[in-house]
Amino acid sequence: MLIKRPADIPSSQITPPAIYRRRREIIKAAAAGAGLMMGGGSLLMRSAKAASETAGGERIPNPRPSPLSTDEKPTSLDDVTHYNNFYEFGTEKTDPAANAGTLETRPWTLVVDGACESPGEIGIEDLLSGFTQEERVYRLRCVEAWAMVVPWVGFPLGDLLKRFRPTSKARYVAFETLLDPDQMPGQRRSVLEWPYREGLRMDEAMHPLTILATGLYGELLPNQNGAPLRLVVPWKYGFKSIKSIVRIRFTERQPPATWNRMQPDEYGFYANVNPAVDHPRWSQKRHRVIGEGLFARKHETLPFNGYGEQVASLYSGMDLRRYF
């Protein structure tokens, strides 16, 4: 495994989110005020309220730096929190930031069951206090051929799974997002099959790179990024990293995954980042890094999103064109 030196400056200090957020509020409030004068106030007021609610705000105390972090420059907090695919809040990239204010993340209970010896529930507070929170700066590669670098805060998924003592029948892990159209207005239309579901093979789930994220930029996750708990699997396309998880289940068979069920020829179950296997409608050889501007060149996409040294062995002997 390649152990990289952590960045000298914790990325949480590169962009001070508190100052940044205050600026947003001021702008929003000004916009709301102007809107009121023009008679269109109520709509703008609502969006201003949503914006202040969705910014996580609460700091996660002293997340431990990790040797697994990349030293690449993180994408700005503004872009990380305002360019999101989270269809539960709308299908435009800017919809989640505008609409995710309706999500209630406290209390939040995660159910873990299936093929394990001690199935049960765990609340978000216990997840935050019972597991050492680490900062993991990871590359994120979306299946749509764009990418970011995100300073996540979270803990290895394997640490959680072990506590529930999976049995020998546990060959896969299935994940489910909250299903509640009142909190997630996007679920009122059947754009996707709700609730959003994803799955990993057991060895993928136990891999040290695989984390459950509770925050980003040193603070609790903003709603639009999958609060209060989301999966992050940095060598797979972003849609595998399911958001706002309420259930984890150990299964014997490969569990259903939302995009895979919808378009099996376009979105595989494995969905490992692979420049050699194109999406039927676009090339996966290169990607655009968000935040580099209008005239920036795209970047070469690397197998497993550059995490090949750590994870390629999980797939030795597998035909990755077939199991894409």
Partner 1 sequence: MSGRRGEWILRAAKVVLFMACLAPFGIMVREAVAGSLGANPVETLLHGTGDWALRLLLVTLAMTPLRRLTGLAWPIRLRRMLGLFAFFYAVLHLTVYLWLDRELAWSTILEDILERPYIGVGFLAFLLLIPLAATSTRGWMRRLGRRWTQLHRAVYVIAALGVLHYLWLVKADLREPLLYGAILLVLLAFRLPWNQLRSVRRGLRADRSDP
Annotated binding site for Mo-molybdopterin, which residues?
84, 87-88, 142, 177, 225, 230, 241-243
Using the minimum distance from each CB to partner 1, give the nearer residue, 165 or 261: 261
Among 83, 155, 172, 217, binds partner 1 (CB under 8 A): 83
Among 13, 42, 62, 91, binds partner 1 (CB under 8 A): 91
CB 238 to partner 1: min, Å = 13
- By beta-carbon proximity to partner 1, the closer residue of 6 and 195 is 195
**Would you count residue 280 as binding partner 1 (CB under 8 A)?**
yes
The binder of partner 1 chosen from 24, 171, 288, 299 (CB under 8 A): 288
Q: Considering only residues 295, 317, 319, 322, which one is a binding residue for partner 1 as defined by CB under 8 A?
A: 295
Cis peptide leading into residue 151 (ω within 30°)? no
Rounded to 10 degrees, what is the CA torsion of 297, 298, 300, 304?
Answer: 150
Residue-level length of the chain: 324
Per CB under 8 A, 322 contacts partner 1: no
Question: Is there binding between residue 316 and partner 1 (CB under 8 A)?
Answer: no
Q: How many helices (H) and strands (E) does the chain have?
A: 9, 13
Q: Is 290 in the site for partner 1 (CB under 8 A)?
A: yes
Phi and psi angles of residue 168, each rounded to the nearest 5 degrees, phi first? -70, -15
Query: Residue 165 CB: number of other CB atoms within 10 A?
Result: 12
Peptide bond into 107 cis (omega under 30): yes
Judged by CB under 8 A, the stretch of 89-97, 118-126, 130-138, 207-215 that binds partner 1 is 89-97
Binding residues: 84, 87-88, 142, 177, 225, 230, 241-243
Residue closer to partner 1 (CB basis): 87 or 152: 87
| Backbone φ, ψ for residue 269 (5° rounding) | -70, -40
CB count in 10 Å sphere of residue 1:
12
CB count, 10 Å around CB of 183?
Answer: 18
Q: How far apart are the C-alpha atoms of 178 and 196, rounded to whole Å? A: 8
Query: Which tokens hold the place of 115?
Result: 């093929």
Coil vs helix vs strand at 124: helix
Tell whether residue 49 is a contact of partner 1 (CB under 8 A).
no
Per-residue contact string for residues 165-204; x = within reach of partner 1 by CB under 8 A: --------------------------xx------------
Q: Are strands 286-289 and 146-156 parallel, antiparallel or unpaired?
A: parallel
Contact residues: partner 1, CB under 8 A? 78-79, 82-83, 87, 91, 93-94, 144, 146, 191-192, 262, 280-283, 285, 288, 290-291, 293-295, 297-298
